[in-house]
Structure 1
């Protein structure tokens, strides 16, 4: 009797894979975007945007705090497009590295304080335009400044390293210590008080105490501009005193 052995293999049965329902596709796509952004590099455009936002806030606060009236422009320098930094899982921290105030050429420190920390320095230019005094014509050294010699004009004060003035009253009664050209910005270092009294001039010395006022003739022993202290001699008593110039030929002393 021939025995015929029959072997059979039972293949494991796998459950059929259910197709992904269409309503889940948006969730899967959103998850993919989140994962990719979490590991994305920080690009130069991210650094520039963060720096611009920080400087805009800093300049606005500085102008309000200092009560400065003017307009400003911010330009962040271009960065190397090949720059690649690790993606930051915390908001970028931006601070002003130099100078002390956000005007002129500035440098900002941009930091990532997340799981992959890094620091980058980003240069920028902040232009602050204000109305400042400029010469209307060429003016010579020692020339007293007249009302028509200066006007207010808009300039970028971040470029005015020697200083500037913003009010016409700042040049009243003053003279130039150097020659200036048309449209040149005037600075306080360019001028001193103009002498309204010169040494040897005959002056009137006035002294006040309460409601009492006394006047006497005198002689100026030094030059002086309005508001300055000079030495004068009382020509009656020959006494020498110090007084404040209050105008042409007039000196006031304390009693």
Structure 2
């Protein structure tokens, strides 16, 4: 009991735990991440300065840029889009407009991952167009 208020300072540490993507086995550079290679584990995200992934889908199908060890947290800096089309590959160019679609042979002038835009040479007309990669050996242009 006192007429003057007083304050007590208590040291505290705040931690935020969240499920993040970790590797379940060591992965090498250029490996493509499979479903069995990653899992969700609870970690203190306050200590993860380079970021983290929260969904397995963010890692599965991606290519490793650097090697990892078992139980390591995956960051966006570890991954890049896996190549679906390589430079020089023969591809099918699909031009779509509504329900109409036209297919023609082409050659990829750059490598590209799923949904990336790359340059492609139409082998019939020899014109170079920008197309979006839609699958292995397949690209799409809009009309």
Aligned residue pairs: how many? Answer: 143
1:47 is the counterpart of 2:9: yes
RMSD: 1.2
**Are 1:38 and 2:7 matched, yes or no?**
no
C-alpha separation in 2, matches of 1:235 and 1:246: 19
TM-score, reference length from structure 2 = 0.95
1:1-255 mapped onto 2 (5 Å cutoff): 33=1, 37-39=2-4, 42=6, 46-48=8-10, 77=11, 124-255=12-143
Structure 2 stretches lacking a partner, 5+ long: none
**C-alpha distance in 2, partners of 1:131/1:164?**
10
Larger Rg, first or second structure (1 or 2): 1
Taking the aligned partners of 1:172 and 1:156, their CA distance within structure 2 comes to 23
Alpha-carbon distance in 1 for matches of 2:36, 2:77 = 20
Gaps of 5+ in 1: 1-32, 49-76, 78-123
Moved over 6 A (4+): none
CA contact (8 A) 1:127 1:156 kept: yes
Per the TM alignment, residue 192 of structure 1 is displaced from its structure 2 partner at its CA by: 0.7
Structure with the higher fraction of residues in strand conformation? 2
Report if the CA contact (8 A) 1:203-1:217 is conserved: yes
Higher relative contact order (CA 8 A, sep 6+): 2
Q: For residue 189 of structure 1, give the secondary structure of its aligned residue in structure 2.
A: helix
SS, match of residue 16 in structure 2: strand
Cα distance in 2 for residues equivalent to 1:180 and 1:147: 16
